[in-house]
């Protein structure tokens, strides 16, 4: 069996084109152009690469960008001062705090200090709460990117059995909330490193979302023939980036979102979508 590619790279490029038009419309009606801020603390090379990519994406679709980089030994107060500054800056319509923060900082206190209306990642506790309640709010970028990727490739969601592996706050925890909305109507099982008999759960699934950060965790014997398999794991090794899906999974999968080229580019595109939508909300509010 040859798995169909869930092509995140191409789909993200389509979405950026759509957003470019919406940004042009916003500015044509006299609105303030959207501006994305990033807060980066420390010098993790991966985080620097992601933040750099986000600013390039912004330039491409006409979103202004504001970059605040702090040293690895920045204090809680210094980070929170930057949060206050971006909350007050009218040119910054949305922003993100790149995670993880260095361990000496209280990430939850930082997220909580953000203006929820400017939360481009959907990770502010108020916005996670709104997601739980089903109230309109910015959605976490990776879960939103996964839903969009499946939709645009015609992978059926209604009634589908989805197995999520990983309980992180950016992906595993929130994705079940999106997929079980009436509009998606999937059934979701949330597994993690403590799950007994993981393969029993994954083999039942029509869709497997691997977001555990455990290289090669999902092997072909753990999959139902024809299943859609999405690789959200990224582990840096001496041999380069390794995902959570073992390469042999392509032999049995019906669809596969690889790493790289699958969910990662969609995450970036959804960040842009959140920023544009926040600016559109503001434009209709006045
Ligand atoms: N506040 C916050 N929001 C995030 O959304 C967030 C974060 N913190 N911290 C780190 C993770 C990781 N993440 C990625 C985004 C894009 C790719 C991506 O574009 N990957 C490419 C290339 C990978 C590469 O070459 O490095 C791909 O998969 O094709 C990867 C990882 C967002 N995160």
What is the count of structural domains for the chain? 2
Dihedrals φ, ψ of 88, to 5°? -90, -15
pLDDT digits (tens, 9 = 90+) for 199-224: 999 999 999 999 999 999 999 999 99
**DSSP run (H or E) holding 78:** helix 76-88
Residue 5 banded pLDDT, cuts 50, 70, 90? very high
Which pLDDT value is given to residue 1? 63
Nearest to 124 by CA among 72, 162, 158, 83: 83
Whether residues 105 and 181 share a domain: the answer is no
Predicted confidence band of residue 2 (pLDDT cuts 50, 70, 90): confident
Do both 96 and 163 map to the same domain?
no
The domain containing residue 221 runs over which residues? 141-265
CATH of the domain at 186: 3.40.50.720
**Residue 98 known to be catalytic:** yes
Residues with beta carbon inside 6 Å of ligand 1? Answer: 49-50, 96-99, 121, 141, 170, 234, 241, 259-261, 264-265, 267-268
ipTM above 0.85, yes or no: yes
Return the residue whose CA atom lies nearest to atom 20 of ligand 1: 264
Query: Of 119, 121, 206, 231, which residue is the catalytic one?
Result: 121
The alpha carbon of 213 is separated from its chain's Cα centroid by a whole number of angstroms, namely 15
Same domain, 104 and 150: no
Within-domain flag for 135: no
> Can you say whether the dihedral through the CA atoms of 209, 258, 57, 13 is positive or negative?
negative
Same structural domain, 152 and 261 = yes
85 and 146 in a single domain? The answer is no
Q: For the CA atoms of the chain, what is the radius of gyration?
A: 19
- How large is the average pLDDT for residues 96-124? 97
Check whether residue 48 and residue 109 sit in a common domain.
yes
| Nearest by Cα to 72 from 108, 36, 37, 48 | 48
Q: pLDDT tens digit string along 7-65?
A: 999 999 999 999 999 999 998 887 778 999 999 999 999 899 999 999 999 999 999 99
């Amino acid at each position: 069996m040859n798995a169909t590619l869930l092509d995140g790279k191409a789909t993200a490029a389509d979405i950026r084109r759509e957003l470019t038009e919406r940004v042009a419309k916003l500015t044509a009606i006299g609105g303030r152009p959207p501006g994305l801020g990033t807060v980066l603390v420390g010098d993790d090379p991966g985080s620097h690469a992601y933040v750099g990519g986000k600013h390039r994406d912004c330039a491409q679709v006409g979103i202004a960008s504001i970059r605040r980089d702090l040293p690895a030994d920045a204090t809680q107060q210094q980070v929170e001062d930057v949060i206050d500054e971006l909350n007050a800056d009218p040119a910054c319509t949305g922003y993100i705090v790149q995670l993880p923060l260095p361990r000496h900082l209280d990430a939850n206190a930082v997220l909580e200090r953000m203006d929820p209306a400017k939360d481009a990642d959907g990770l502010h506790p108020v916005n996670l709460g709104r997601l739980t309640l089903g109230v309109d709010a910015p959605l976490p970028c990776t879960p939103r990117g996964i839903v969009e990727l499946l939709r645009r490739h015609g992978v059926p969601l209604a009634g589908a059995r989805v197995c999520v592996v990983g309980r992180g706050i950016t992906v595993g925890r929130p994705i079940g909330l999106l997929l079980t909305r009436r509009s998606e109507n999937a059934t979701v099982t949330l597994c993690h490193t403590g799950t007994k008999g993981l393969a029993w759960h994954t083999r039942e699934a029509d869709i497997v979302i691997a977001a555990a950060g455990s290289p090669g965790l999902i092997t072909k014997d753990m999959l139902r023939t024809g299943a859609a398999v999405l690789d959200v794991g990224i582990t840096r090794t001496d041999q380069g980036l390794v995902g959570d899906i073992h390469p042999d999974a392509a032999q049995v999968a019906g669809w596969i979102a690889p790493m790289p080229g699958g969910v990662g580019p969609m995450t970036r595109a959804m960040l842009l979508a959140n920023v544009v939508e926040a600016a559109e909300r503001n434009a209709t509010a006045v």
